Amino acid sequence: VNPRTLLSPSYDVLIDSPIEIGFHDSLQFEVEGIPHEIVLWNAPPFDKERLTLEFAAIVKKHHELFGSLPYRRYIFMIHVSPGLGGGTEHLNSTIIQVPTTTFEDPKKYRRLLGTAAHEVFHVWNVKRLRPAALAAANLSSESYTDLLWFCEGTTSYYEELILVRAGLISADEYLLGLSESIHQCRVRPGSKVQSVAESSFDAWIKFNQATPNDLNTTVSFYESGAVVSFLLDLELRTRSNNRVSMDTLMVEMVRRFPSTGTGITTTDLIAVAGELTGTSFDEFFASYIHSTKPYPFEERVGVVGLRLALDADGVLPYSGIVTQMQNGRNIVRYVLSDGPAYEAGVLPGDEIVNELPSTPGTLVHIDLIRRGSPQRIEFTMGSISNGRWRLSRTDNPTSAQRAAYSSWLQQQL
Ligand SMILES: [Zn+2]
C-alpha cells in the first residue's frame, strides 16, 4: 500500500478523521503496544517529557477501566494560540485548543490534562457507545436526544476521576472540585426547573443560545450531568454493597452496545443498571434524570466514606443580583429568581447607580437606569447561607467504606 494513500472504511469514518499538514511538534508514546501521538501546532517551549508521561498515564487508566483500547493508533492534535479553548472528540483522535499560556500556568495546564482525559473517555462514551439518535444522525438537521447528560456529563465525571486515579491531582483537590460542582447545582435556581434529560433535549435550541435567564430556567447537561453521574455511582454501590459501580455500568454498556449497533436509549441504561444490581432503576431515573428532585447526597456519600455539609454557619445579604462593571458602569448581568430583586422587577441590562445596604431584612431603594430612563425599585434585602457544600472524609471509616473509597479513587481512605 502506498503510504501516501489514505483509506477510510466508510464515509462516516472519513468525516470523523481530521487531517493536518504543517509544522508540528510531535511526541510519541505507547500503551499496551498501541502507538499514540501528540502533535502540537504553534506551541511555545514546554516540558515535553512531562506532557508525554501524563497523557500516557491518562490513557493507561482508560485501558485499565475498559480492558482494551479500541483503536490501532490515536492522535492528540493540540492547537495553541491566544484565546483558544475547547476540544472535540473523534473516533481515533481529538483536537484540543488551548491558550498559549497553558504551559506556564498550572491551572490552565491542569485544564489541558482534564480535556485530554475527557476526550479519551469519549473514545468509548459517544464515539462508540452512542445514543440511538446520534447513531442514526442525519447530518442535515438537528438530532434530538435526552442522553447528553450521559454523553457529556458522565464523561465530565470521569474526566476528573481519571486524573485522580492517574495520580495527576490529589484526592483533596478532586473532592474540592466535586464539592464545588454539587454546590453550584444546589444554588442554581434552574435546578428546580429543568431536568438533565430536558437540558439534553433542548441543547439545540437553548444550551448553545445563552441568555441572561439561563441560570433561572436551565441546567447544564455537562455540570449537572457530572453531578448526577456521581449520584448514580453512589446509588449503584449502595444497592450492591459496592459490587457494582459506575465503572461496572460503563464497561457493561460498552460490551452490550457495540458501535455497529443501533445505539442506546434511556431504557437500555435503566435495564442494565437494574440487571447488574438486581433492583429497579425506574424511580431513580424518573426522579433525578427526568425530573428535578433534589439529589440526596447526604444520604448517599457515606457508601464511599464521605460526609457532605456546609463549611460555615450564618447568613449573608442576598438580593439575587449579579453585576458586572462595563466601561465604569455597574450593569446587572443576572437576576437570580431565588432572590428578592427578581420579584421586584430588576432586569439584566439595568445600570445600578447607588450603593446597596448589606444587612438582611433592610429595605433597599435601588436607583437604576433602564434604556436611558432613571427608575427606583424597592425590595427587602434577603439572605443566603454563608457556607459552601463540602465533601469530607469520615473520621472512623468502616472496612466497607475503605474498600469502596479505594475502588472509587484508587487511593487509601
Ligand atoms: Zn465532551
Strand segments, DSSP code E, in 85-158 are 87-89, 93-98
354 burial level (CB within 10 Å; 0-12, 13-18, 19+): exposed
CB within 8 Å of 91: residues ≥ 6 apart: 13, 16, 17, 71, 123, 127, 128
Q: pTM of the full predicted structure?
A: 0.96
Centre of ligand 1 from the C-alpha of residue 377, in Å: 43
How many angstroms does the Cα of residue 148 sit away from the middle of ligand 1? 9
Determine the distance separating the centroid of ligand 1 and the alpha carbon of 348, expressed in angstroms.
30
Q: How far is the CA of 175 from the centre of ligand 1 (A)?
A: 21
> Helices 171-187 and 223-239: crossing angle, nearest 10°?
110
Q: What pLDDT, on a 0 to 100 scale, did the predictor assign at position 367?
A: 96
What pLDDT, on a 0 to 100 scale, did the predictor assign at position 288? 98
Distance 380 CA to ligand 1 centre (A): 42
- Give residue 120 CA to ligand 1 midpoint distance, Å: 10
* Distance between Cα 31 and ligand 1 center (Å): 23
Provide the Cα torsion 287, 288, 291, 294; round to 10°: 90
CB 155 within 8 A of CB 121: yes
Helices then strands, counting H and E runs in the chain, come out as: 16, 14
Beta bridge partners of 332: 323
All residues at 6 or more sequence positions from 238 whose CB lies less than 8 Å from its CB, including other chains = 300, 303
Supply the pLDDT for residue 358.
86
How many whole angstroms separate alpha carbon 287 and alpha carbon 305? 24
CA trace torsion 325, 330, 336, 342 (10° rounding): -170
Residue of 83, 107, 80, 110 whose CA lies nearest to 96: 80
Residue 262 near residue 268, CB atoms below 8 Å = no
CB contact at 8 A, 153 and 222 = yes
How confident is the chain (413 residues) per 10-residue block, as mean pLDDT?
88 94 96 98 97 98 98 97 96 97 97 98 97 90 94 98 98 98 97 97 82 94 98 98 98 96 97 98 98 98 98 94 96 97 97 92 95 96 96 97 98 93
Q: What is the pLDDT at residue 38?
A: 98
**pLDDT the model gives residue 304:** 98
Longest C-alpha distance within the chain, in Å? 80
Give the gyration radius of the chain's Cα atoms. 24
Cell of 194: 429543568
List, for residues 197-230, the tens digit of each pLDDT value: 999 999 988 777 789 999 999 999 999 999 999 9
* C-alpha cell at position 283: 424511580
Distance (angstroms) between ligand 1 centre and the Cα of 227 equals 15
Which grid cell sits at 330? 455597574
Strands (E), 291-396: 306-310, 315-318, 321-326, 329-335, 351-352, 363-370, 373-380, 382-385, 389-393
C-alpha of residue 118 to centroid of ligand 1, in Å: 6
pLDDT tens readout for residues 264-299: 999 999 999 999 999 999 999 999 999 999 999 999
214 alpha carbon – ligand 1 mean position (Å): 20
How far is ligand 1, taken at its centre, from the CA of residue 87, in Å?
Answer: 7
In the reported structure, the alpha carbon of residue 122 is separated from the centroid of ligand 1 by a whole-number distance in angstroms of 7
- State in Å: Cα 208 to ligand 1 middle: 14
pLDDT of residue 357: 84
CA distances from 49 to 27, 43, 78, 101, 362 (A): 9, 14, 16, 18, 59
* Rounded Cα–Cα distance for residues 116 and 325 (Å): 34
CA of 129 to the centre of ligand 1 (A): 13
Alpha carbons 207 and 410: distance in angstroms, whole number: 34
* Distance between Cα 359 and ligand 1 center (Å): 42
- What does the block give as the cell for 68? 482494551
Cell of 92: 481515533
353 alpha carbon to ligand 1 midpoint, in Å?
41
CA 151 / ligand 1 centre spacing (Å) = 7
- Which residues, chain by chain, have CB under 5 Å from ion ligand 1? 152
284 alpha carbon to ligand 1 midpoint, in Å?
Answer: 24
Ligand 1 centroid, distance to 238 Cα (angstroms): 28
297 CA → ligand 1 middle, Å: 25
